[in-house]
Amino acid sequence: MATIINGKQIAASISEEVAKEIALLREEGIRPKLAVVLVGNDLASEIYARAKERACARVGIEFEMHALDVDIPEQVLLELISRLNLDRSVHGIMLELPLPERINKQKVIEAILPIKDVDGVHPVNRGYLFTMGEGIFPATPQSCIELIVQSGIELEGKHTVLVGRGETVGKPLVFMLLGQNATVTVCHTKTKELSRHTRQADILITAAGKAGLITADLVGPGAVVIDAGINEKADGGICGDVDFESVSKVAGAISPVPGGVGSLTTVMLQKNLLKAIQLQKKLHIK
């Protein structure tokens, strides 16, 4: 039976470290603040935003919510982003998605100052990810790496198979894994004979967004399985891409959904805020 990787426990440990760093920043006169921009009345986005607010309060991060009407003109949204960019009391900006279709999402993302882009979605930060430069990177892929590293599992030299190539998790994760000196194979919807690749993995990470995709016959004995998929179940709950019950009997270690990757995303966002502050301090913006 596989060892269960406890994401909640790892997140709690990282959260303690974040709180200590924030306390030190406050001694310097810096009061870390995250500004979240929410357009429209998407219930899921509002729930996520409020969850972030509560998590920030627990570690001493100030939180500023900008809830905008669904009919707000794009230019007004861009003007708000510009004000937040210039506001030295705001250290991080996060744009909750989705945006209304009439708004140019990429234009708004590119308007965010890269050193305040705590979501790691600005093209400049994507470029730093490609070169492993000093940028801010997406929280969910970072969470996958942290689950592995914090569990004492070595990535260097390991054959890591990633199922999923999406913009949010899959593609950024490729470069993060390479940065850890893993040997990476990427599988996707056009991959033929998926099991031929996945069964060779020392570490199998899935971010395909398809419930039950990874079954026991796709996993090599003793492999580490990290499930970054999120799928809604008929009863309103969530599940990952992995058939947990069958795969846990084959794998050496496995992360559950919920209780795995998703448990770390908010605390990794907080770490991104701390990274943003350090970048701003280098530019004497604080």
Q: CATH number for the domain including 153? A: 3.40.50.720
Among all chains, which residue has been given the structure tokens 């209304």?
A: 100
Among all chains, which residue has been given the structure tokens 């990787």?
A: 5
- Assigned domain for 9 exists: no
Number of structural domains the chain divides into: 2
pLDDT confidence tier of residue 270, bands split at 50, 70 and 90: very high
Residues 64 and 155 in one domain: no
Last residue of a domain, one of 114, 147, 162: 114
Please tell me the predicted confidence (pLDDT) of residue 132: 85
pLDDT confidence tier of residue 284, bands split at 50, 70 and 90: confident
- Asked if residue 54 has pLDDT above 60, the reply is yes
Residues 154 and 249 in one domain: yes
pLDDT confidence tier of residue 156, bands split at 50, 70 and 90: very high
Residues 87 and 40 in one domain: yes
Residues 50 and 83 in one domain: yes
Residues 151 and 91 in one domain: no
- Assigned domain for 7 exists: no
Residues 147 and 246 in one domain: yes
- Asked if residue 285 has pLDDT above 70, the reply is no
- Asked if residue 261 has pLDDT above 70, the reply is yes
Residues 234 and 143 in one domain: yes
Question: pLDDT tens across 95-137, in order?
Answer: 999 999 999 999 999 999 999 999 999 999 999 999 988 999 9
Residues 189 and 259 in one domain: yes
Residues 107 and 153 in one domain: no
Mean pLDDT for the chain overall: 96
**Contacts made by residues 18-26, CB under 8 angstroms, sequence distance 24+:** 18/59, 18/267, 18/270, 18/271, 18/274, 19/58, 19/59, 19/60, 21/274, 22/59, 22/60, 22/61, 22/274, 23/60, 25/274, 25/277, 26/60
Average pLDDT over residues 180-194: 96
CATH number at residue 84: 3.40.50.10860
- Strand (E) or helix (H) holding 270: helix 265-282
Residue 254 structural domain: 139-263
- Assigned domain for 2 exists: no
- Assigned domain for 220 exists: yes
- Assigned domain for 21 exists: no
